[in-house]
Amino acid sequence: MARGDAPQDSYHLVGISFFILGLGTLLPWNFFITAIPYFQGRLAGDNSTAETLSTNHTGTGSADAFNFNNWMTLLSQLPLLLFTLLNSFLYQCIPETVRILGSLLAILLLFALTAALVKVDMSPGTFFSITMASVWLINSFSAVLQGSLFGQLGTMPSTYSTLFLSGQGLAGISAALAMLLSMASGVDAQTSALGYFITPCVGILMSIVCYLSLPHLEFAQYYLGKKPSQARAHELETKTELLPAVTLSVFPAITAMVTSSTSPGKWSRFFNPICCFLLFNIMDCLGRSLTSYFLWPDEDSRLLPLLVCLRFLFVPLFMLCHVPRRSRLPILFPQDAYFIVFMLLFAVSNGYLVSLTMCLAPRQVLPHEREVAGALMTFFLALGLSCGASLSFLFKALL
């Protein structure tokens, strides 16, 4: 069948399926980082989880002793680096269907375990160990899942990779909204936390159904039966929802510790979920969408590396915001407005510069070199993410 005779995507079912699959690949990471108050509450010895979804635990007690934010960020990124190195070997040895369905089922089971632990009382140390193991395993399977789906997208028209990436962009917003709904539901904190962690299980189940439906859709059969373009797959892999190293050095390890300087009330309760997580994800998506309208500066401009380097300024700016119970640095920006403005600029610049860099990079090499360039970009991006996550330990210690 000639390419011009390709079947139509009836009712856009294939497009919707890849959008939901994109959403499912990043739901685990986003639901973990958005639930930081819950985890910190459990690690502080609050086994009843009372108010752990709505309180920022920023003290110097046992919650801080575990450095949960930092370890979660680091153990989320190391699997990405590991599976980037094992990419070719793993994908040649294990069939694609096994990688995708196996990863989805493993993530589903691990999230079901996380939800079940809400009802289980245990010591903070045991809870920390189980949670960190889950973080490592979930992100390992997520790395395999994303790489495999990118390989499939390499055979599809480019609009489907856009839909997939749009689904990934919605994952962070979905997690933040789920957190806000859980907090505003009015039920007890334990039920609220249980409902919150069941939500991504539903998302993963939807992803499984969507993937199983693809072989039965004529449009998907036509394109997925073709051999993936390796250069295309690598190019897509670099465009996944990844945060630059600068970002992971403070988000969420430092930004999640910032609290409202106003008196206790509804605003102070919802301040961090709204101003940290929801605002970041909305503005990050906005920044990524801007490259659809213009690409500035161009690939030959010296301004681009300068703008990337200037983002390091956000590290001290966030560290000097209203993080209580610090021991070294002063609070120079106590008002909530400072943090909101910093987060707006931080998120927009993150989304725009990531998208801009990935759009301009292929122009810097010859067509036959793009496969190697894509692989190198993926590796160094993963390495940068891991370094940024490691730096978060130092920045937190300086507070």
Per DSSP, the three-state class of 54 is coil
Contact 142, 111 (CB under 8 A): no
DSSP letter for 296, please. Answer: -
Hey, what amino acid is at 106? A
How far CA 397 is from CA of 179, 319, 321, 346, in Å, comes to 28, 11, 15, 22
Hey, what amino acid is at 310? L
Residue 227's pLDDT is what? 58
Q: In this structure, how many other beta carbons lie within 10 angstroms of the beta carbon of residue 11?
A: 9
CA distance 261 to 324: 9
Residue 138's pLDDT is what? 92
CA distance 172 to 251: 13
The tens-digit pLDDT sequence of the chain (399 residues) is 445 577 888 889 999 999 999 899 888 888 888 888 888 888 887 554 444 555 544 443 444 568 888 888 888 888 878 877 776 677 778 888 999 999 999 999 999 999 999 989 899 999 999 999 999 999 889 888 887 887 788 788 878 877 887 888 888 899 999 889 888 887 777 888 888 899 899 999 999 999 999 999 999 988 887 655 544 554 454 444 445 587 888 988 899 899 999 988 889 989 999 999 999 999 988 988 888 788 888 877 888 889 988 999 999 999 999 998 788 899 999 999 999 999 999 999 988 887 787 677 666 666 666 556 666 666 777 777 788 888 888 888 888
pTM of the predicted structure, to 2 decimals? 0.82
Q: What are the structural domains of the chain?
A: 12-397 (1.20.1250.20)
Residue 244's pLDDT is what? 58
